[in-house]
């Protein structure tokens, strides 16, 4: 007699949160987020166009949250890149 067929269990990996993001000004993947728990600040900086934003951070803040505020500030024209974006 033959055995019953067992179902294959498909294990999908969970998506990871990125640590480097796209810059809204220059379009390059060069934005790093540093969160200082002791100073309670988050610094978001683009390595390509040197655009930088420092915001107050709370205990539950993740790098994605700080990046979202960075993009919002750029779209509201609160921050501007140091070099012109003639790309």
Provide the residue range defining the domain that includes 48. Answer: 20-75
Residue 9 lies in a domain: no
Write down the pTM of the prediction. Answer: 0.75
Residue 7 lies in a domain: no
Residue 42 lies in a domain: yes
Task: Report the DSSP pairing between strands 41-46 and 29-36.
Answer: antiparallel
Query: 70: left (phi > 0), else alpha (psi -120 to 50), else beta?
Result: alpha
Q: What is the mean pLDDT of residues 11-28?
A: 90
Buried-exposed string 4-32: b where 16+ CB fall within 10 A, e elsewhere: eeeeeeeeeeeeeeeeebebbbbeeebbe
- Torsions phi, psi for 24 (to 5 deg): -70, -20
**Tell me, what's the pLDDT at 84?**
55
Q: What's the pLDDT tens digit per position in 33-51?
A: 999 989 999 999 999 898 9
> Over 80: is that where the pLDDT of 87 sits?
no
């Amino acid at each position: 007699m033959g055995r019953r067929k067992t179902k294959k269990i498909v294990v999908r990996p969970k998506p990871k949160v990125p640590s480097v993001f796209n810059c809204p000004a220059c379009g390059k993947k060069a934005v790093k987020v540093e969160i200082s728990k002791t100073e309670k600040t988050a610094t978001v900086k683009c390595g390509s166009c040197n655009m930088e934003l420092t915001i107050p951070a709370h205990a539950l803040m993740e790098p994605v949250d700080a990046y979202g505020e960075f993009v919002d500030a750029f779209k509201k024209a609160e921050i501007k890149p140091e070099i012109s974006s003639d790309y």
